Amino acid sequence: MIEELIHLTTDDSETIALWKITSNKTTDKHLFLIHGTFSDKEIFNGFTDYFLNLGYTCWLLEWRNHGESKKVNQKFRFEAIGKHDVKTAFKYLIDKEQITNLHCAAHSGGGISITICLIYNPEFKKRIKSISLFGVQAFGANISTKQNIKLRGAKLICKLIGKVPAKFAGSKNYDETYFTMHQWFDWNIQRRFTDSSQFDYESRMKEIRIPIISFCAKGDDFIAPKEGCQLYLDAFKNPKNKLVYCAVELGNLEDYNHSRILKSKNSKKEIWPQAEKWMSKNS
């Protein structure tokens, strides 16, 4: 495996890291990967090896303030990741690397960021053959009175301390600022997916017709519950999209939590192959 670090400058003057990962099995297949909040490229450890062995070149974005990206010069909203960082990475892959066929895989907030990017930059859609989402939703976690109380309580605590601790998502890597994460809380509490000026993202999601497979799990019952992932996928209004719900009661190896649905020995056995099958089907 060969890793090459590429630093890119966004249109709002931040420096982000894009990793090119190849092997001696590399062919003309390309996979773009983006982590979520609280994490970096390590969330894809093992996943990249799996797809390298299948001939893919993996392009892994570490967005602002994470991994090998530079520390930010200013506060940023959640939506900035999609508006600037993902946009910059896609432009590099398409304009500089001349990649015409690209598959995408995203965990958690990475999937939200790809969605926002494609809404603002529809010209990228024709280059993308498929998207695989792992624990991704933006406005559907508020599924009960109990969940509503938990969301509002978590938002209040995080506002008071000024950050959202990584352990909130079962991560050990990166705390996120409340300034960044308050949009996620508001989207879910209000059940509305809008930008800072109330532009309605949800109503534009149906314009993204790329085939999407979305993985969710019983153990991920706060950040990305099944109902929320279903609502998010349904917003694309593409009957060919597919939701895969994982639970022991349905024959799966475990009730995956928010991180293990992507990074675990069991997900390697039964989830990664489904993502690969989806990519092959839509190549």
Is residue 172 one of the residues assigned to a domain?
Answer: no
pLDDT the model gives residue 124: 98
The whole domain housing 96 covers 2-139+201-281
Look up the CATH number of the domain holding residue 27.
Answer: 3.40.50.1820
The answer for residues whose C-beta is within 8 angstroms of residue 167's C-beta and 6 or more apart is none
pLDDT the model gives residue 172: 66
pLDDT the model gives residue 10: 97
* pLDDT tens profile 90-103: 999 999 999 999 99
Q: What tokens appear for 173 in the block?
A: 């890597």
Is residue 100 one of the residues assigned to a domain?
Answer: yes
pLDDT the model gives residue 246: 98
Is residue 185 one of the residues assigned to a domain?
Answer: no
pLDDT the model gives residue 171: 64
Is residue 179 one of the residues assigned to a domain?
Answer: no
Structural domains of the chain, count: 1
In angstroms, the CA 39 to CA 275 distance is 21
Is residue 234 one of the residues assigned to a domain?
Answer: yes
Is residue 83 one of the residues assigned to a domain?
Answer: yes
Q: Please provide residue 101's backbone torsions phi and psi, each rounded to the nearest 5 degrees.
A: -125, 115
Q: What tokens appear for 51 in the block?
A: 């797809």
pLDDT the model gives residue 219: 97
pLDDT the model gives residue 54: 97
| Local structure of residue 81 (DSSP, 8 states) | I
pLDDT the model gives residue 73: 75
pLDDT the model gives residue 215: 99
Where the chain has pLDDT below 50, the residues are: none
In angstroms, the CA 118 to CA 29 distance is 21
* pLDDT tens profile 162-177: 999 888 766 667 899 9
pLDDT the model gives residue 170: 66
Is residue 153 one of the residues assigned to a domain?
Answer: no
HEC string of the chain equals CEEEEEEEECCCCCEEEEEEEECCCCCCEEEEEECCCCCCHHHHCCHHHHHHCCCEEEEEEECCCCCCCCCCCCCCCCCHHHHHHHHHHHHHHHHHCCCCCEEEEEECHHHHHHHHHHHHCHHHHHHEEEEEEECCCCCCCCCCHHHHHHHHHHHHHHHHHCEECHHHHCCCCCCEEHHHHHHHHHHHHHCCCECCCCCECHHHHHHCCCCEEEEEECCCCCCCCHHHHHHHHHCCCCCCCEEEEECHHHCCCCCCCCCCCCCCHHHHHHCHHHHHHHHHHCC
Is residue 237 one of the residues assigned to a domain?
Answer: yes
